[in-house]
Amino acid sequence: MILHGYWRSGTSYRTRIALNLKGLTYETRGVDLRQGAQKAADFLAMNPQGLVPALQVGDAVLTQSPAILEWLEEAHPQPPLLPSGALDRAQVRAMAALVECDIHPLNNLRVLKALREGFDADQAATDAWAGRWVGAGFDALESLVQRQGDGWCWGDQPTLADCCLIPQIYSARRFNVDMTAWPALSAIESRAQAHPAFQAAHPDRQPDAD
């Protein structure tokens, strides 16, 4: 497998975590979003949307990190990143979607670039924008984790929800969001910092990192 991604991309980060938790071997190829590498003809031929990540699996190319994570769970079910019960799986997917759908899309690179270029937003304004949506999402996720977690977002083992949460916390800190309001999420972050799969996926450890 070949993972085309950007070292600081939250969606690439969550994909690396899942691959590592599954114990899978993959090659990393950097796509520098700041330089517009995602718009290069060869990359667009592989992923017409021009976004990361893109995961090459033999002759197939998988895009959109939620679909990639679900495929990993189906194709490589051990160790599981979803619980066994249907209702429990739905709860984990809902927590993952809270990040994937309601937080991350509003503070990714192209949205922040649009704020700066189209609305003259400075760094303080973009930080406030990102913090607004991070805060609303983390408020809800904190409550869910306190209800359903036991060391991780759901239960006592990492799930797809944790794959999504940890990169979002990394982004939140980049936007100067104070994490003290969410002790359960911060505790998961501390646990992840000691977990080899999360350590290896960290942006600073990627070959294309600054």
pLDDT of residue 194: 98
Percent of the chain with pLDDT over 70: 100
Residue 22: pLDDT over 90: yes
pLDDT tens readout for residues 163-206: 999 999 999 999 999 999 999 999 999 999 999 999 999 999 99
Q: Which fold has domain 86-197?
A: Glutathione S-transferase Yfyf (Class Pi); Chain A, domain 2 (1.20.1050)
pLDDT of residue 110: 87
Q: Say which CATH architecture domain 2-79 belongs to.
A: 3-Layer(aba) Sandwich (3.40)
123: which 2 tokens?
Answer: 């760094």
Work out the pLDDT band at 109, boundaries 50, 70, 90. confident
Mean per-residue pLDDT over the chain, rounded: 96
Average the pLDDT over each of 11-15, 34-38, 87-91 and give the range with the smallest value.
34-38
85: which 2 tokens?
Answer: 């019960």
Work out the pLDDT band at 123, boundaries 50, 70, 90. very high
Predicted TM-score (pTM) of the model is 0.95
Nearest to 4 by CA among 20, 22, 26: 26
pLDDT tens readout for residues 156-165: 999 999 999 9
Please, which residues bridge with residue 28 across strands? 3
Mean predicted confidence (pLDDT) in 9-27: 98
Instruction: Identify how many contiguous H helices and E strands the chain contains and give both numbers.
Output: 9, 4
Confirm if 183 and 143 have CB atoms less than 8 A apart.
no
- Cα 23 to Cα 52: distance, rounded to the nearest angstrom: 21
pLDDT of residue 47: 95
pLDDT of residue 23: 98
Percent of the chain with pLDDT over 90: 96
Listed in sequence order, the residues at least 6 apart from 112 whose beta carbon sits closer than 8 Å to its beta carbon are 126, 129, 130
Residue 108: pLDDT over 90: no
What are the start and end residues of each CATH 3.40.30.10 domain in the chain? 2-79
Mean predicted confidence (pLDDT) in 67-75: 98
pLDDT of residue 140: 98
What are the start and end residues of each CATH 1.20.1050.10 domain in the chain? 86-197
